[in-house]
Chains A and B, each alone.
Chain A
Amino acid sequence: MSKANLLDRRQVVSTLLANRKDVVAIGGLGASTNDMCAAGDHARNFYLWGGMGGAAMIGLGLALAQPKLPVLVITGDGEMLMGLGSLATIGLQKPANLSIAVLDNEAYGETGGQTSHTSAAADLVGVARACGIKDACAISTMAEVEAFAKAVHDVSAGPRFANVKIDSANLERILPTRDGTYILNRIRADLGFQPI
């Protein structure tokens, strides 16, 4: 069921990536990775089909390796909840070029829509802030999404975290490639790295 006044996930993600320039984007397991593909395939899209809980840490490794590049993790509330500790790890490292956007529909949409902890108790913005990510905010309007998309390009002021409340509509699946080696090596090639 969709509640009123909640944002459309596809519109949120396409806005986050509309003027992406050199952004490397990591899509967490589940609908987030599909949303990224729906916004348009890109050589710098890191689609995850597994490793639940690891999206933010992949973002951290990339952000530390490429400090001048904006790195954006787009993931769901369930995937973020499985990697809550990574917010403490990121809060300690403070990579200025890393941004995390959580698409929070308060449910495990891929597995039948079971409610997640954010529906009644867990406050991901509070967790991020308490872990030392000072720039952490709750987003409920498209204007705020646009402002966040702009901020992602400032690689000197992160890390930043946004929890975006989205509606829980199950949309048509737009499936990206499932070939992990291809996905990873395409990013490396686009960044100028040779195969081993």
Chain B
Amino acid sequence: MHARADSADTVPNWPDDIFATLQRFDVRQVPYVPDAGHSKLIQRVLDSSTMRGIALTTEEEGVALLAGAWAGGQRGVLLMQSSGVGNCINMLSLIPILRFPFLTLVTMRGEWGEFNPWQVPMGSTTQGVFELSGVQVLRASQAAEVPAVLEAAAAQAYNALTPTAVLLSQRLIGAKVFTK
């Protein structure tokens, strides 16, 4: 277990790899519910001139937004943490019905050295919820594998309309450390 990076000199580079891949696939709309593990990527998106970061109040809004974006000719990606996946369940039904490209990047909680038991139930069922809902799951646990996993996920989501979730494991992000 290692601590979550939270000082400027230890900010990880893998979010830059994700951003570059999304840019290459011409992703334009990036709905998100903030998570510490996504903070660098969200900042890259908000600073970008080609992507629009869209803050949501709850994650299912993002699923519906991506359907509308595709109707209007744009690709998007939904950023959230594992606890938000449960909020999406009914709205995920839009994906097979409308057949729009769906890619979501999920930072995991409730695994790998988790401190907060309240994160564990949803973290433990995140992959199952996606699979039951018809969304294929890929996982990245090491920084070195992020580029290849993202490339594969984006390719199958955007080229083959295969609904895809990438779980960014807590091992990659670092377990959140709670201090008094």
Among candidates B55, B60, B69, B90, residue contacting A64 with C-beta atoms closer than 8 Å: B69
From known contacts A51-B93, A54-B94, A196-B159, infer whether A60 and B58 are also in contact, taking CB-CB under 8 Å.
Answer: no
Q: Taking A51-B90, A184-B98 as contacts, is the C-beta distance between A59 and B58 under 8 angstroms?
A: no
Question: Among the listed stretches B39-47, B71-79, B112-120, B135-143, which one makes contact with chain A, having 4 or more residues with CB under 8 Å of it?
Answer: B71-79
Give bound CA distance, A79 to B62, whole Å: 16
Whether B64 lies near A51 (C-beta < 8 A) is yes
User: Do B68 and A57 have beta carbons less than 8 Å apart?
Assistant: yes
Note all chain A residues with C-beta closer than 8 A to B159: 196
Determine if A58 and B55 form an interchain contact, defined as CB atoms under 8 angstroms apart.
Answer: no
Check if A180 sits within 8 Å of B98, measured CB to CB. Answer: yes
A62 to B54, CA, bound (A): 13
Task: Tell me the minimal C-beta distance from B71 to chain A in angstroms.
Answer: 5
Tell me if B63 is interfacial: C-beta within 8 Å of chain A: yes
Q: How large is the interface on A (under 10, 10 to 19, 20 to 34, 35 or more residues)?
A: 35 or more
User: Which listed residue, B58, B69, B91, touches A65 by the CB 8 Å rule?
Assistant: B69
Which B residues touch A57, using CB under 8 A? 61-62, 64-65, 68
Given A51-B90, A61-B76, answer yes or no on A184-B61 (Cβ-Cβ < 8 Å): no
Contacts of B70 in A (CB 8 A): 61, 184, 188
**Contact B60–A54 (Cβ < 8 Å):** yes
- B29 close to A (CB within 8 Å): yes
- Chain B, residues 135-179, CB within 8 Å of chain A (1/0): the string is 000000000000000000000000101000000000000000000
Bound Cα distance from A69 to B68, whole angstroms:
13
A93 within 8 A of B: yes
Report how far A193 CA is from B72 CA in the complex, Å.
9
Question: Are the C-beta atoms of A89 and B56 separated by less than 8 Å?
Answer: yes
8 Å CB contact of B71 from A51, A55, A62, A83: A62
Q: Does A191 contact B (CB under 8 A)?
A: yes
Cβ of A52 within 8 Å of any chain B Cβ, yes or no, is: yes
Residues in A12-49 with C-beta less than 8 Å from chain B: 24, 26, 46
Q: How far is the CB of B139 from chain A (nearest CB, A)?
A: 26
- Contact indicator A181/B76 (Cβ below 8 Å): no
Q: State whether the Cβ of A151 lies closer than 8 Å to any Cβ in chain B.
A: no
Report whether A89 and B54 are in contact in the complex, using a CB–CB cutoff of 8 Å.
yes
| Alpha-carbon distance between A187 and B72 when the two chains are bound, in angstroms | 8
A-B contact pairs, 28 of them (CB 8 A): A24-B71, A51-B67, A51-B91, A51-B94, A53-B64, A53-B91, A54-B63, A57-B61, A60-B68, A61-B65, A61-B69, A61-B72, A61-B74, A62-B69, A62-B71, A62-B72, A64-B54, A65-B74, A66-B73, A83-B61, A85-B58, A88-B57, A89-B56, A180-B97, A180-B99, A184-B70, A193-B73, A196-B159
What 4 A-B pairs come out closest when comparing CB atoms? A61-B68, A65-B72, A85-B57, A54-B64
Q: Which residues of B contact A (CB under 8 A)?
A: 28-29, 52, 54-58, 60-74, 76, 90-91, 93-94, 97-100, 159, 161
Give 9 new A-B contacts, CB below 8 A, not counting A61-B76, A188-B71: A46-B68, A58-B65, A61-B72, A64-B69, A65-B72, A85-B57, A88-B57, A180-B98, A188-B70
